[in-house]
Amino acid sequence: MAVRHYTLDFSLSTAVDSASTVSGLMSIFHEQELTETVHDTNGHGYFATFVGKNGRVAILRVHSHGLVTIDLQCYEEDNIAQLDNLLNALEKKLKVLLNGNITRIKKLPAIVRGANVDRYWPTADGRLIEYDIDRVVYEEDSAYQNIKILHSQQYGNILVLDGDVNLAESDFAYTQAITGNGKENYAGKEVLILGGGDGGILAELAKQKPKMITMVEISFCSKVIDGCRMYMRKTCGNILDNLKGDCYQVSFFTEALNTSFLIGRNDKTTYVGQNERRIREEKGNSANLTEALSLYEEQLEKLSCPVGFCKEVVCVPSYLEQWVFYTAWKK
Amino acid sequence: MAVRHYTLDFSLSTAVDSASTVSGLMSIFHEQELTETVHDTNGHGYFATFVGKNGRVAILRVHSHGLVTIDLQCYEEDNIAQLDNLLNALEKKLKVLLNGNITRIKKLPAIVRGANVDRYWPTADGRLIEYDIDRVVYEEDSAYQNIKILHSQQYGNILVLDGDVNLAESDFAYTQAITGNGKENYAGKEVLILGGGDGGILAELAKQKPKMITMVEISFCSKVIDGCRMYMRKTCGNILDNLKGDCYQVSFFTEALNTSFLIGRNDKTTYVGQNERRIREEKGNSANLTEALSLYEEQLEKLSCPVGFCKEVVCVPSYLEQWVFYTAWKK
């Protein structure tokens, strides 16, 4: 039984007399059978809590510097229309009471807390994001991470590893970017994919007539592969149905291989092999994490084997933030 | 002076004894000099409010069906590290107290309420989204709407009309989609753009050697054009510096024109002219608003002049939701 948490905030150009504001609102709270307790704030404005039927709770604060905040919590199965009415009545009344003094009215979409299906997955740069997730289609814990596949109406199934959005079925732009946006020729080449458990890169490159693709996954990622084979088929197609094909093999260990391309896929580690001619690398980096990006570039410049690199900012649909992809090459 | 609002929620597999949970947390609240008031909830679990120094307020609820919610509000200039410590101490203690019974721990990024620069702009399908907006670069009210241009680190400047994200400098994908993703040939053609005050479509099509582009904006949108000319130059280039050029003119009125292409750009209205051969239309539709999309398609099918249409789902970087673009043509 989730809690719906509504907020309604009035920003003001000047401080207001809390007594008149509060008394103007009381009749609305009382009509809804909410009983108030006024708290001593040691001079930090007015603060009252209201308790109503069915577990409803409201908080009213008139901050002394010119901000009125209202919080309203109710249970998911409460009469939502009634709560909307209460919030609208409070907004309407406050517009009258604070007339001429309002710089902004802000009513956020209700935050749903403790729901069976969690819709809030922050971006890599720490912003609050609500996804349109309506169900969990797969959930497993491996020895090292929590693996979820969640369904979104607009993005299809989304792979979420340890709470980080990893890839959605909508995200072909990701696969395109990490394979070089058509600028690389994989025909007849040997390719090493490090990570890539969702199978997207493998499925795409297998179409491009490579000599051999070796995908190396850490063994604890087999549950990722299992989930993606079943529920991320718009990403991997049928490529994960068999871990070995004419032009590819998936191995669950790590060893150095001499291939033409190396495609790294891991949010935590950088792969640069001295034998590689060309490395496509995705560092799990939000375009906003400029410090992390600089650090990565510093590391590239410090390598014993001199490399050149270029980068590209890409919009991956389900990420809800711009993402930076690097290409590095042996000079 | 904004309020930072933190939330910390523990979802539980079974209901808990609130008395032991609460008494285990009290020492933490008291250490931080927060004074409690316990409220009568008429059988809907435990509910206490805590008031501390500097306007700090905390809310603790132990819901009777197995959910613990904590809210913590402080002022932006408070000692944030201290608040983080408090929240971490509560989380750590609850992990011990509820050990074996926890199905999810959720700590959302703090919501900032009443800030000078508002970062929360919901999607068209009503989800809560925090943007990385750091300053307001332009704000004007016309007779009909509020016009803002806001700066985002990753999207560049963003045009926001009446609280709806309209277009950002990062959103060339929008301009590409509405002009047909390279599938239309505009050379030598007459083009009518309805709306398009940001200048993105105009700037793009002017490069494609059309005979004449007529852009018709409603007169109250001149402040949109003013703002975009100054602050959305990655979108409009220098095209709005002059409202008339060799191959284009911008007019502030509406009249029927016989042109090869008609490009509609308005979230509220549908434009279909009987004289048009090909119409590119963006209905302001989130891919998730399936009802609105169906309604639009029904309208297309009811037109006295029979039209065919196709649609395309596009990822426009700053929209943070998938967007549907229609192309319609006279049969």
**What pLDDT digit, counting tens, does each position of A299-314 carry?**
889 988 888 999 999 9
Q: Which 217-256 residues of chain B touch chain A by CB within 8 A? A: none
> For chain A, what is the HEC assignment?
CCEEEEEEEEEECCCCCHHHHHHHHHHHHHHCCCEEEEECCCCCCEEEEEECHHHCEEEEEEECCCEEEEEEEEECCCCHHHHHHHHHHHHHHHHHHCCCCEEEEEECCCEEECCCCCCECCCCCCCCEECCEEEEEEEEECCCCEEEEEEECCCEEEEEECCEEEEECCCHHHHHHHCCCCCCCCCCCEEEEEECCCCHHHHHHHCCCCCEEEEECCHHHHHHHHHHHHHCHHHHCCHHHCCECCCEEEECCCCCCCCCEEEEECCCCCCCCCCCCEEEEEEEEECCCHHHHHHHHHHHHHCCCCEEEEEEEEECHHHCCEEEEEEEEEC
Å from A263 to nearest chain B CA?
25
Of B53, B71, B288, the CB nearest to A153: B288
Best CATH choice for the domain B3-111 from the list 3.10.100.10, 3.30.470.20, 1.10.40.30, 3.30.160.110: 3.30.160.110
Q: Contacts of residue B3 in chain A, CB cutoff 8 Å?
A: 61, 63, 67, 69
pLDDT number for residue A257: 47
Q: Contacts of residue B288 in chain A, CB cutoff 8 Å?
A: 132, 153-154
Best CATH choice for the domain B172-330 from the list 3.10.510.20, 3.30.56.10, 3.40.50.1970, 3.40.50.150: 3.40.50.150
According to CATH, the topology of domain A117-167 is Spermidine Synthase; Chain: A, domain 2 (2.30.140)
Cβ atoms of B107 and A3 closer than 8 Å = no
Amino acid occupying residue B237: G
Using the beta-carbon criterion (under 8 Å), do B106 and A125 form an inter-chain contact? no
Å from A190 to nearest chain B CA?
33
Å from A330 to nearest chain B CA?
30
Of A3, A63, A154, the CB nearest to B288: A154
Amino acid occupying residue A305: C
Beta bridge pairs of residue B125: none
> Which has the closest alpha carbon to B103: A116, A111, A134?
A116
CA dist A157 and A148 (Å) reads 10
Q: Which 35-64 residues of chain A touch chain B by CB within 8 A? A: 37, 39-42, 44-45, 47, 49, 51, 53-55, 57, 59, 61, 63
Where exactly does CATH 3.40.50.150 map onto chain B?
172-330
CA dist B230 and B248 (Å) reads 20
> Which class does domain B117-168 fall in?
mainly beta
Q: Contacts of residue A288 in chain B, CB cutoff 8 Å?
A: 132, 153-154
Cβ atoms of A199 and A225 closer than 8 Å = yes
* φ, ψ for residue A330, nearest 5 deg: -70, 125
As given in the structure block, the two tokens for residue A170 are: 């909508």
Where exactly does CATH 2.30.140.10 map onto chain B?
117-168
- Where chain B has pLDDT below 70, the residues are 219-220, 253-284
Query: A55: how many CB neighbours lie within 10 A of its CB?
Result: 22
pLDDT number for residue A280: 58
Identify the residue among B121, B130, B152 best suited for mutation to test binding to A, counting A beta carbons within 10 A and taking the highest.
Answer: B130
Angle between helices B80-97 and B18-31 (to 10 degrees): 150
CA dist B196 and B176 (Å) reads 13
- Side-chain-facing half-sphere of B166: CA atoms under 13 Å: 26
**Sign of the CA dihedral with A28 first, then A32, A35, and A39 last:** negative
Q: Does B126 touch chain A (CB under 8 A)?
A: yes
Using the beta-carbon criterion (under 8 Å), do A5 and B7 form an inter-chain contact? yes
Q: Does B303 touch chain A (CB under 8 A)?
A: no
Å from A293 to nearest chain B CA?
14
Using the beta-carbon criterion (under 8 Å), do B108 and A120 form an inter-chain contact? yes
Å from B11 to nearest chain A CA?
6
Where exactly does CATH 2.30.140.10 map onto chain A?
117-167
- Where chain A has pLDDT below 50, the residues are 255-258, 265-277
pLDDT number for residue B220: 67
Cβ atoms of A171 and A150 closer than 8 Å = no
Q: Does B19 touch chain A (CB under 8 A)?
A: no
Q: Is A306 exposed, middle or buried (0-12, 13-18, 19+ CB in 10 A)?
A: exposed
